[in-house]
C-alpha cells in the first residue's frame, strides 16, 4: 500500500511541477495573460505564488507523513491556505511549520482537519461537490473563474481567490450553496479595492 501511495505521490509531483512552474505560466500565451489580468493578480504575483507553492510541495514531499498527498495548498499573494485530512495534531502542526519555512509566505491559513475519510464514497462525494462548484462558478462568473480556487473536505467547501467585484463573489457563493451535500462554505476570497 505504501508503494502505491509513493508512486501516486511521484506522479502527482511530476504533474504539479510541470503544470505550475513559472515557465509554463509565462509560456502559455497571450490568452492566459489576459485571464490572469482578469483575475485581479499581476504576473509577478502569480509567479511569486507559484514559486511558494512549488517550495511548499518540496517541503511536503520530504515529509514522512504523506503531507504532499494528504494536504492541498492554495497560494494567493503570499497567503497559503492548507486543507486536507491528517491523522493527528502533531502532523497538522508539522505541516504549518514546514510552510512557514518557505521564503515569501506572508500568512498561513490552517484548515487541516484531523481524522480520515471513512469511505471511498465520502471522497467521491467531495470530488463531486468540488467539480459541481467549479462548474457553477464558471456559469456564474465566466472566465473570471480563474480568480477562484475550490477545495472540498467532508462537505465543507473552501473558496479562495482575489476579486475586485464583491457582487460576483456573492453570486458565486449563492451558486455553491445550491449543491447537494454542501454542509458549509468557508470564504477566503480577498476583496481587492480598485
118 exposed, middle or buried (CB, 10 Å; 0-12, 13-18, 19+)?
exposed
What distance, in Å, lies between the first and last C-alpha atoms of the chain?
51
Domain count, the chain: 2
What is the average pLDDT across 16-26?
A: 39
How confident is the model over 32-78, as pLDDT tens digits? 333 333 456 778 888 999 999 999 999 999 888 889 888 999 998 89
pLDDT class of 28 with cuts at 50, 70, 90: very low
127 lies in the same domain as 83: no
What is the average pLDDT across 103-111?
A: 92
In whole angstroms, how far apart are CA 3 and each of 7, 85, 102, 145? 6, 20, 28, 36
Q: Look at residue 177 in the predicted model and tell me its pLDDT.
A: 93
For residue 79, the enclosing domain spans 2-114
Q: Are strands 71-76 and 79-86 parallel, antiparallel or unpaired?
A: antiparallel
What is the average pLDDT across 92-96?
A: 92
Q: Kindly report the CATH number assigned to the domain that includes residue 173.
A: 3.30.300.130
Q: Look at residue 23 in the predicted model and tell me its pLDDT.
A: 34
How confident is the model over 150-180, as pLDDT tens digits? 989 889 999 988 888 888 889 889 999 999 9
83 lies in the same domain as 138: no
95 lies in the same domain as 129: no
Q: Look at residue 182 in the predicted model and tell me its pLDDT.
A: 94
Residue after which a domain boundary falls, among 114, 148, 166: 114
66 lies in the same domain as 109: yes
79 lies in the same domain as 43: yes
What is the average pLDDT across 19-28?
A: 37
HEC string for 85-145: EECCHHHHHHHHHHHHCCCCCCEEEEEEEECCCCCHHHHHHHHHHHHHHHHHHHHHHHHHH
For the record, the C-alpha cell of 75 comes out as 497560494
Q: Which residues contact 66 (CB under 8 A, 6 or more apart)?
A: 5, 9
177 lies in the same domain as 125: yes
Model confidence at 11: pLDDT above 70: no
Residue after which a domain boundary falls, among 114, 148, 173: 114
pLDDT class of 117 with cuts at 50, 70, 90: low
How confident is the model over 129-158, as pLDDT tens digits? 999 999 988 888 787 777 788 989 889 999
Residue identified by cell 502542526 is 93
125 lies in the same domain as 168: yes
| Model confidence, pTM | 0.64
10 lies in the same domain as 40: yes
For the record, the C-alpha cell of 145 comes out as 473563474
pLDDT class of 4 with cuts at 50, 70, 90: very low
Residue after which a domain boundary falls, among 114, 145, 180: 114
Amino acid at each position: 500500500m505504501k508503494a502505491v501511495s509513493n508512486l501516486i505521490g511521484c506522479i502527482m509531483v511530476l504533474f504539479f511541477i510541470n503544470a505550475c512552474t513559472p515557465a509554463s505560466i509565462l509560456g502559455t500565451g497571450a490568452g492566459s495573460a489576459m485571464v490572469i489580468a482578469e483575475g485581479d493578480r499581476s504576473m509577478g504575483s502569480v509567479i511569486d505564488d507559484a514559486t511558494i507553492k512549488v517550495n511548499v510541495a518540496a517541503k511536503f514531499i520530504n515529509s514522512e507523513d504523506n503531507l504532499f498527498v494528504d494536504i492541498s495548498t492554495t497560494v494567493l499573494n503570499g497567503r497559503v491556505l492548507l486543507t486536507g485530512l491528517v491523522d493527528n495534531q502533531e502532523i497538522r502542526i508539522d505541516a504549518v511549520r514546514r510552510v512557514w519555512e518557505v521564503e515569501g509566505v506572508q500568512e498561513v491559513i490552517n484548515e487541516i482537519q484531523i481524522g480520515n475519510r471513512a469511505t471511498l464514497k465520502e471522497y467521491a462525494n467531495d470530488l463531486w461537490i468540488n467539480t459541481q462548484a467549479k462548474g457553477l462558478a464558471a456559469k456564474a462568473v465566466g472566465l473570471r473563474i480563474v480568480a477562484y480556487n475550490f477545495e472540498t473536505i467532508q462537505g465543507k467547501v473552501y473558496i479562495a481567490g482575489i476579486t475586485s467585484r464583491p457582487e460576483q463573489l456573492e453570486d458565486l457563493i449563492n451558486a455553491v450553496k445550491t449543491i447537494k451535500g454542501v454542509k458549509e462554505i468557508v470564504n477566503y476570497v480577498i476583496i481587492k479595492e480598485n
